[in-house]
Amino acid sequence: MTSGDQDAYVVVTGGSRGIGAATARVAAQAGYNLALTYKSNQSAADAVIQAVEEEGRRAVAQPFDMATGNVEELFQTFDAAGLGRLHGLVNNAGITGPIKCLTEIDQAMLDDLFRINITSLMLCMKEAALRMSTARGGAGGAIVNVSSRAGQLGGAGEWIHYAASKGAVDTLTEGAAKELGGEGIRVNAVSPGLIETEIHAAAGAPERLEKMVGGVPLGRAGAAEEVAEAIVWLLSGKSSYVSGANIAISGGR
C-alpha cells in the first residue's frame, strides 16, 4: 500500500544521483509524483525519471544551477508541469567544497558553498511554503532538509566550511518548524554520516569511507537508500507529529 497522494508531488533538488536519486525512487514507490532538479547530467536524471515512471508515477527533471538559478522561476516551472499539488520539498542539493583546513579556505570558495547550501536551500523553502501553507490556501505539507553529521561534529581538518553550512541548515530547520507549523507545514532534517555516494570522490578523497568507517559503531558505511527511507517517512503521514526533528543516519557515529 502506498502512503503518498497520487495527486501530489514532491520536489527533490539534486535528484539525479546519490541520496537525491534514491529519495526519488523511494518516494515514487510510496505513491508520490516527482519534480527533480539536476545540474548537468541529463542521462542520470533520465534514468531516475524512468525508475519513477516504472512505479506508475509521473516525473519531470529540470536542469538547474543552485548557485545561480532563479528559484522562483524553478517552482513556477514545476507549477505548470501538471503533477498535482505540491506536497513536499526535499532540499538535497549541496556541495562539500574541497577538503581544506580553516586557514586554507578563501572567500570565493565560501561564496559558492553558502549560495548553494544555504541561500538556495532557504529560497526553495520559501517557495514551497508559499504553495503549501494553509494560511495561503494550500493543503499543508512537509519539508525535509538534508543536513549532515558534520554540522554537529564540526568537520575539523576536512570540511569545516561545509560543516558550518550544515550547522546553519540545522538552525534553519528548527526555526522554520516553529514558524510554519501553524500553517500545516512540518519541517525536519536528516543528518547522514558516512554514506556510500559520489560525494567523497568529488571532493578529492575517494578513499575517505574506507579510512573512516572504523569509527562507526555499526561497523559499516550507510547506503543512500537508507537515508531515502527516512526522508520519505518524514514526508508521509506516518510522521504526522514529527516537526523540528533532526534524525542522525550515521550508524551511531
Residue 229: its pLDDT value, please? 98
In a domain, 3, yes or no: no
The residues assigned a catalytic role are 162
Q: 3 falls in which pLDDT band (50, 70, 90)?
A: low
CA dist 110 and 106 (Å) reads 6
In a domain, 81, yes or no: yes
**By residue range, what is the domain housing residue 119?**
8-249
In a domain, 170, yes or no: yes
Grid cell digits, residue 43: 542521462
In a domain, 160, yes or no: yes
CB 222 within 8 A of CB 231: no
What's the total number of domains in the chain?
A: 1
| Exposure class string for 54-88: b at 16+ Cβ within 10 A, else e | ebebbbbbbebebbebebeebbeebeeeebeebbb
Question: At 22, which CATH number?
Answer: 3.40.50.720
In a domain, 23, yes or no: yes
Q: Widest CA span of the chain, in angstroms?
A: 53
pLDDT, tens digit, for every residue of 52-67? 999 999 999 999 999 9
CA dist 183 and 195 (Å) reads 34
Please give the single-letter amino acid code of residue 161: H
Determine the average pLDDT of the residues in 226-237.
98
Q: 163 falls in which pLDDT band (50, 70, 90)?
A: very high
Q: Is pLDDT of 152 > 80? A: yes
In a domain, 1, yes or no: no
- Give φ, ψ of 218 to 5 degrees: -75, -10
If DSSP codes are grouped into helix, strand and coil, which group holds residue 77? helix
Determine the average pLDDT of the residues in 11-23.
97
Residue 1: its pLDDT value, please? 32
